[in-house]
Chains A and B, each alone.
Chain A
Amino acid sequence: GAGVSQSPSNKVTEKGKDVELRCDPISGHTALYWYRQSLGQGLEFLIYFQGNSAPDKSGLPSDRFSAERTGGSVSTLTIQRTQQEDSAVYLCASSPRASSGSNEQFFGPGTRLTVL
């Protein structure tokens, strides 16, 4: 079946502009995660959605970052007034159910954001 998809694959924007990044999780997966990966670094957790529960936003680096998940499926990560330090690859992952034993996450290909 289809995996996690993300769009756009690449985004170049000017400092101060807003951007929206989209994630389509695997159908039926109730858990959805956003991560950020700067060049040569590990993954930095941003936000987590599980079903209809309130999201865990503890990883969002500032109030310029927000995310929503509509209908328990597609998610959008929005970065307002982008800064150069926001440049990174933004990865989305989904898993069948966060409380399940394995919690294996299935990743999308990522969106490479470049802020000029």
Chain B
Amino acid sequence: SQQGEEDPQALSIQEGENATMNCSYKTSINNLQWYRQNSGRGLVHLILIRSNEREKHSGRLRVTLDTSKKSSSLLITASRAADTASYFCARRYSGAGSYQLTFGKGTKLSVIP
């Protein structure tokens, strides 16, 4: 399967702590994107990292990409109760049909006030 897989499947932390979610993939990518989903409805794009990048930041979000290990991590620092949501990584893989994004099953994050 070329599906991106996230781990852990679920994560529960106290407000103020950092949350780290991981994503692995199996074939070469053009870029990898992280999305957030509240209450099982529409997804919101958070951050994109290209295959030639190793780290990107956006506010309290930090994403790393290790192409040798075919993995990415999303770090949310100083978490807030409002960060409670499901987080998905989506790969845009290289080659034919590369317009598609392949989503994993997500990590369900619960931030306890």
Contacts and interface: CB of A to CB of B under 8 A. Distances in A.
Given A42-B106, A56-B97, A105 B41 contact: no
Nearest to A111: B41
B87 to A, nearest CB: 11
A93 B7 CA distance: 25
Given A41-B105, A42-B106, A103-B31, A89 B41 contact: yes
Interface residues of B, number: 25
Interface in A23-37: 31, 33, 35, 37
Contacts of B44: 107
B81 to A, nearest CB: 22
Contacts of A98: 99
Interface stretch (A12-20, A43-51, A66-74, A79-87): A43-51
Say whether chain B's binding surface is mostly helix, strand, loop, or mixed: strand
B103 A91 contact: no
Interface residues of A, number: 30
B101 A105 contact: yes
Contacts of A101: 31, 50
16 contacts: A31-B99, A39-B40, A41-B105, A42-B103, A56-B97, A56-B100, A89-B40, A91-B43, A98-B99, A101-B31, A105-B43, A107-B35, A107-B42, A107-B43, A107-B44, A108-B42
Interface of A: 4, 31, 33, 35, 37, 39-43, 45, 48, 50, 56, 58, 89, 91, 93, 98-99, 101-110
The 6 closest A-B CB pairs, nearest first, are: A98-B99, A42-B105, A43-B103, A107-B42, A107-B43, A109-B42
